Amino acid sequence: MVLNLKILPQSSFGFPGYRGLQEFVIIPFYNYESNQSNYFGIKDWGISLQYGAEFARTTLSVAPDDLTTDNSELDLNTSLYLLSIAKRLGNHSLSARYTPGYQKEFIFKTGESIIINDTTTQSLQANYNYKELFGLGYSYNFNEQFNAGLTMRFFSQDFNREIVKPVFGDTLYLVREAINEKISTGSIDIGLDYILNKQLQFRIASINLLNFEDQLTNTEFQGIELNLNRGALLTASYFPLELLNFHLLYETTNSFQAGVTGHTKGFIYGLTAFHDYYQEPFIAGVLPAVGYRTDLFEILLSAVKYFSDRYTNASYSKFFDEGINNIINNSYSFDKIVLSMAVNISGKPEKKVELIDIEITREIYPSFYDLYIDQPIAYGNVVNISGKPVTVIPSVKIEGVTDDQIQSPPQTIAPGDTVVVPFFVIIPDKYANEKTFLSYADFFISVTPLQPDAQLQKATLINSINSWDGNVANLRYFIKKDMEFSMNYSKNILSRNKSFLDTIPSPLLPFHKAQIIFNEFAKLIVYVSDPRATAEYVQFPKQTLDLKGGDCDDLSVLYSSLLESVGVQTALVDYKGDGEIRHVNVLVNTGLNPEQARLITTNDKKYFIRKDESGKDQVWIPVETTSLSNFNEAWNIGVEKFNREAIENLGLAKSKIEIIDVY
Amino acid sequence: MKNILTYLLISASAFVFYSCDKPAPTELFDDSENEFEIELLNKDFDNHYFTSGSDTSGITQDITRLTNLISVSGIKITSANRTTEFSLAQAIFFKRSEPIKYQNGRLLAYKTATPGTIKFNSVEARIVPYRIKYRDNGAPKDTLVGNKYLLYNIFGGFPDPFYFNYNSNVSFEFDPFLPGEDISFNIPTPHQINGFVDLKGSKLSKNLEAALNWNATGPGKVSVVIGLMRPGQQQSIPVYKFKAPDNGKLNIPGRYLNQLPLDRFEKIVFTFVRSFEGYHGNVNNDLLVSSQSIHSIVIDIP
C-alpha cells in the first residue's frame, strides 16, 4: 500500500477502469488516474506499458446536419499510450511515466478566408494539440492503514493558427501568416489512503491542487487552454468477496465512477461505468476489463465504450464554448481497446517468513572454535507467512569475528507455524583478538540462498582469545590450538635424548617421553597464578613457554599439548573443590597394560588403571604440573593429591573430581 | 536480473519506435457565426481606383473588367447620429472595342455607350457624363469615359422621383434608339439592411476592435466594406471588403484595423451591403444586374 497522486486535467479516468486500492493493484503503478495514491505492491523494479487501438469514426460529410446519419467510415489508429517505470525503496515508492499517446489534436478551418488574385479564395486553418508529456509519482507507506503520496504531471499545449495580417508600408498588403504558441503546464496533487480493514478502504485526493503554467501571450489563443478547475475526489471500496468487489468514486466536479471487480485463480475482471459532468449521456460510457496477473506480471485487456456517437468531425462552437477538461476522456474521445502490461522485475522475492525474535544463549569464546558447531549461540523464532511450506536457512554473521554468514542447518516450516531455529557459528582459525569487546551479530533467515527474507541484529559479547569459561573440558581447545608448535617443541626435546630413548623398550617409551619432556620444560617454567585468581584466562602453550610461567591451567594445557603432539595420550583432572579455587592437573597414559605397571613402579598406589580411547585397560599416572622440580616429584605429588581427593575422599564417586580426555 | 532488465528496455524502446502513431485528430467545422472572407480593395491609398474585384455597391469602382451594369440601390448613411436615406439607379454599357489605357499600355477602362432610353420604376433615367479618377505615373488624372444612365433621390423625390422599394421589385425598361425590341424586367430588391457598429479601443493604443451587427435575414451573404476618410474630406477610401453569412453579426479581428495607418485618417466608414445580383447575356455573362441595400456608418476614429 502506498501513496497518492492525482493528476491534472486527467481527473480519475484511466483506461483500465477504476479498480480500487488493494487486491488488484499489486503491479499497476502506471495508472495514476485510477490509482491516485500511487499504491503498488512491487518489491523492487517494475516496468509497464499501455498499447491500444482507437476507433475513430470519420464522417464523409462535414455538414453538421449529417452527423446524425451513418454517413461515416471507421478509422483504426494504434498508439503507445504509456510507458512507465517504478521503484520501491522500503516504505518509499517512486514512479515515472512517459505518455506519448495521451494527446488530443483538433484541426479546423478558422472561418477566415482571404480572396487573392481577384477571385481565388484561400481558407485559413488551425490546429490545437494537447499532450500529457510525462508524470512523476512518490508515495510513502506510513503503516498498514495509511498511505500518502503525490503526483506531478506535465503537459504541453501547442496552438497553431493561420491568420491574415495586414502589413502597411508604402502600400497595404494582406499577408497570410502562421502563428503559434506552445505553453507548458504542470499540476501537483496529493492523496491519502485509509485502509480500515480488508473489506473497507477509502481514498481522498486533490484534483489540480497546485497548477503551474506558462502565461499565454497571444490573444488569438485565449480561451482554448486546458481547464484546470480545482477539485477533490473521494473513493470507497468494499471487498466482501474475492469474486465480487464494489468501488465508488466521486469527484467534486460532479462526475463519478461506479465499478465492480473480482478475481479468481489469477484471472481478474472488472466493469466500470462513468458519469462525466462534461459529457452526454448521463452514463457517458463503460470500461470493461479482463486480465491475468501473478506476483511477477499483469496483463489486462480493457476497452472504453462511449454511449454517444463519436466522429472525427465536430462543432467548433461547442469546442470553443466548453473546451476540454481531460485529454484522454472528453467529448471528442473515441472508443478504444487498450492492452496494459506490467512486469515486476524485482530482484527481491516475496517475503515468506518473519524473524520475530532472537535469544542469545551464550557468550562467544573464540578459542572454542568448533564448540558452536554443536551448541547454538542463539535461538530465533521464525514464522512462516507464505501460506505454503518453506525451508529456511538460518545464518549469522558476527561483526569482527566472522567474515561471511555462517549457515546453520535448514529447517522446514509449515504454513502459519512458528519454529524455534538454532543459529550455529564457526570461529575462524585466524581469530587472535586478545581483547574482549561488545560486537553485533546479524541473524538472517533465508528462503533462497542469496536474499534473506528477514534479519535481526543483536549485541553480543566477544571474549578474548585467551578467555575460558571455567569448564575444564573446554581446555582442550587451548591444548589443540598450538599443536604444531607443541609437536616441534617436543620432538626437539626428544631428539636431544635420542641415545637414551633408543635404549628404552618400546612399551616404556610413552612413560619416558613424558618424563623427559616434563623435566625439560620444568627447568624453564615457574608457577604463577592468574591475576586476582581469575580462572577465565588461559595461556596457549607457546605463550606459557614464551612467558616462562603460568598457573595450573596454563601448565596443564602446556604439558598435555606437548605430550599429545608426540602421541602420548593425556587427560585432565578437574578438582572442582568445595568453594575453593578449582585445580587442574594431568593424567598421562603410559601405554602399559596393568601387568606391565611394575616396569615403572612397584607401588600400586602410584598409578591406576583406566581405559584408553580404544577401550583397553592401561596404566595412567597423575602428574602435578605445578610441581616444577622434576617429573618424579610431580608424579608423587599428583599421586598423593589424586589418591586423597579422588579415591579416599570419594571425589570421583561424588563427581567433585572429573577426568576429561583431551581427545 | 540485469539481463531481463536490458531485454525489457530494448523491447520497450523498439515498441516506442514502431508505435509513434498518434491518436486520431478531431476536425472541427466552423459554426462559430464569425466566418468571413476578406478582400483587400485598395492597397494604395492615393489611388482611389485600385480594387481586386468587381464591386457593384457603388462604394468602389473597378471598370477594367466590369461587365455592362444595371444597378439599383437603397442607401442609408449614418454620420454624427444623423441618418440620410436616398435611392440610386444607374446603368452603364461599355464599348469593348474602345479601351482606355494607362500610359504604359495597361487597360484602365472602356468607353461607355448610351444605346437607348432607360426607365426605372417608369422614371426615365438621365444620361450624365461618366468620369473616373485615377493616378498615372504618380500624377492624378480625371478622364471622361462616356455617359451613363442615372437616377437618384436625396430629398423626397429630388432631383429624381425614383424610390427604391425594399424587399420588392424595381421595374426596368429599355427602349433602344436603333430598331429592335424593347426590353423590360423586374429587379428584385433585398430587405433593408440596418447596421450597428461597436468600435472599441483607440488607434493610439492600437487596440481597436469592431463588433458589427445588423438585422439578419438568414440565407445569403452580407458584405461589409471598411473605408477611411481623411480629415476634411467627405469621400472615403475603401480598404477591405468582408463577406460574411447574413447572420447578423461579425467581429472584425483587431489586427485588420490596427495595422492601418490610422493617424492619417479622421473617420472610418463601415458600409453594410445586402445585395441581389445576377449575370445575364448570351455571351460571357456580359450584363450584371444587381440591387442592394446599403447602410454606411461613419465614425470618428477613437
- Look at the block and give the residue holding cell 462535414: A62
Q: Are B100 and B108 in contact (CB under 8 A)?
A: yes
Taking the CA of residue A328 and the nearest CA in chain B, the distance in Å comes to: 10
Give me the pLDDT at residue B301, please. 93
Q: Which of A124, A186, A178 is nearest to A155 (CA)?
A: A186
Q: Are B21 and A77 in contact (CB under 8 A)?
A: yes
Chain A window 106-145: which residues touch B at a Cβ cutoff of 8 Å? 106-119, 121, 127
Q: Write the DSSP assignment of A245-303 as a string of letters.
A: EEEEEEETTTEEEEEEEEEETTEEEEEEEEE-TTSSSSS-EEEEEEEEE-SSEEEEEEE
CA distances to A52, A84, A421, B66 from A340, rounded to whole Å, are: 8, 11, 44, 68
Q: Return the residue of B nearest to A349 by Cα.
A: B1
From A45, A83, A334, residue closest to B24, measured CB to CB: A334
Of the listed ranges A209-223, B109-123, B217-231, the least confidently predicted one is A209-223
- DSSP letter for A326, please: -
Name A456's bridge partners. A443
Q: Write down the H helix ranges in A523-618.
A: 541-547, 552-564
pLDDT digits (tens, 9 = 90+) for A39-48: 566 677 888 8
* Three cell numbers written together for B215: 438585422
Q: How large is the greatest C-alpha to C-alpha distance in chain B, in angstroms? A: 106
Q: Write the DSSP assignment of B157-203 as a string of letters.
A: S-B----PPTTSEEEEEEEESSSS--EEEEEE-PPPP-EEEEEES-T
Taking the CA of residue B229 and the nearest CA in chain A, the distance in Å comes to: 16
Residue ranges covered by each domain of chain B: 2-300
How many residue contacts between A and B have a Cβ separation below 8 Å? 156
* Residue B26 reports pLDDT greater than 90: no
* Three cell numbers written together for B12: 520497450
B130: three-class secondary structure by DSSP = strand
Q: Write the DSSP assignment of A555-566 as a string of letters.
A: HHHHHHHHHHTT
B11: three-class secondary structure by DSSP = helix
Q: Which of A635, A632, A601 is nearest to A621 (CA)?
A: A635
What single letter denotes the amino acid at residue A368?
F
Distance of CA B228 to the CA centre of its chain: 14
Give me the pLDDT at residue A25, please. 53
Give me the pLDDT at residue B51, please. 36
Topology of the domain comprising A353-462: Immunoglobulin-like (2.60.40)
From B15, B29, B44, residue closest to A108, measured CB to CB: B29
Mutation choice for A interface testing from B26, B35, B256 by most A CBs within 10 A: B26
For residues A490 and A504, what is the distance between their CA atoms, to the nearest angstrom?
18
Phi-psi map region of A635: left, alpha, beta (phi>0 left; psi -120 to 50 alpha) = alpha
A598: three-class secondary structure by DSSP = helix
More confident residue, A425 or B157: A425
pLDDT digits (tens, 9 = 90+) for A147-169: 888 888 899 999 998 888 888 87
For residues A597 and A410, what is the distance between their CA atoms, to the nearest angstrom?
52
Mean pLDDT of chain B: 83
Give me the pLDDT at residue A8, please. 31
Burial of A439 (0-12, 13-18, 19+ CB in 10 A): middle
pLDDT digits (tens, 9 = 90+) for B141-187: 778 889 999 999 987 778 889 999 999 999 999 999 888 888 899 99
Q: Which of A296, A278, A267, A157 is nearest to A223 (CA)?
A: A157
Give me the pLDDT at residue A469, please. 84
Q: Write down the H helix ranges in A71-168.
A: none
b/e per residue, A446-466, with b = 16+ CB within 10 A? bbeeeebbbbeebebebbbbb
Give me the pLDDT at residue A92, please. 84
ipTM (interface predicted TM): 0.72
Q: Which of A142, A98, A103 is nearest to A4 (CA)?
A: A142
* Three cell numbers written together for B131: 468620369
- DSSP letter for A537, please: B
Q: Which of B214, B239, B237, B228 is nearest to B295 (CA)?
A: B214
Give me the pLDDT at residue A349, please. 61
Give me the pLDDT at residue A49, please. 85
Topology of the domain comprising A472-661: C8orf32 fold (3.10.620)
From B4, B44, B255, residue closest to A166, measured CB to CB: B255
Q: Write the DSSP assignment of chain B as a string of letters.
A: -HHHHHHHHHHHHHHHHHT---PPPEEEE--SS--EEEEE--S-TT-TT--SS---SSSS---SSPPEEEEEEEEEEEETTEEEEEEEEEEEEEEEEEEEE-TTS-EEEEEEE--EEEEETTEEPEEEEEEEEEEETTEEEEEEEEEEEEEEESSSS-B----PPTTSEEEEEEEESSSS--EEEEEE-PPPP-EEEEEES-TTTT--EEEEEE---SSSEEEEEEEEE-TT----EEEEEEEEESSSEEEE-HHHHHTS-GGG-SEEEEEEEEEEEEEE-SSTT-EEEEEEEEEEEEEE--
Q: Write the DSSP assignment of A457-520 as a string of letters.
A: EEEEEE--TTB--S-GGGHHHHHHHTHHHHHHHHHHHHHHTHHHHTTS-GGGHHHHHHHHHHHH
Q: Are A256 and A248 in contact (CB under 8 A)?
A: yes
Chain A window 32-91: which residues touch B at a Cβ cutoff of 8 Å? 45, 47, 49, 51, 54, 56, 62-64, 75, 77-80, 83
Of the listed ranges A314-318, A630-634, B253-257, the least confidently predicted one is A314-318
Question: Considering chain B, what percentage of its residues have pLDDT values greater than 90?
Answer: 38
Mean pLDDT of chain A: 83
* Three cell numbers written together for B75: 442607401
Average pLDDT over residues B260-287: 83
Q: Are A456 and A382 in contact (CB under 8 A)?
A: no
**A317 with B33: Cβ contact below 8 A:** yes
Give me the pLDDT at residue A4, please. 27
For residues A338 and A54, what is the distance between their CA atoms, to the nearest angstrom?
9
Kindly state whether B34 is in contact with chain A, defined as any CB-CB distance less than 8 angstroms. yes
Q: Return the residue of A nearest to B15 by Cα.
A: A80
* Residue B59 reports pLDDT greater than 60: no
Give me the pLDDT at residue B295, please. 94
Beta-strand relationship, B82-101 and A378-384: unpaired
> Cis bond leading into A507, ω under 30°?
no
Beta strands (DSSP E) in A309-389 are: 313-315, 335-344, 353-360, 378-384
* Residue A382 reports pLDDT greater than 60: yes
Contacts of A313 in chain B (CB under 8 A): 26-29
Q: How confident is the model at residue B189 (pLDDT cuts 50, 70, 90)?
A: very high
Q: Return the residue of B nearest to A111 by Cα.
A: B35
- DSSP letter for A16, please: T
Kindly state whether A222 is in contact with chain B, defined as any CB-CB distance less than 8 angstroms. no
For residues B33 and B248, what is the distance between their CA atoms, to the nearest angstrom?
9
Q: How large is the greatest C-alpha to C-alpha distance in chain A, in angstroms? A: 150
For residues A587 and B41, what is the distance between their CA atoms, to the nearest angstrom?
133
Q: Which of A580, A590, A556, A509 is nearest to A659 (CA)?
A: A556
> Cis bond leading into A422, ω under 30°?
no
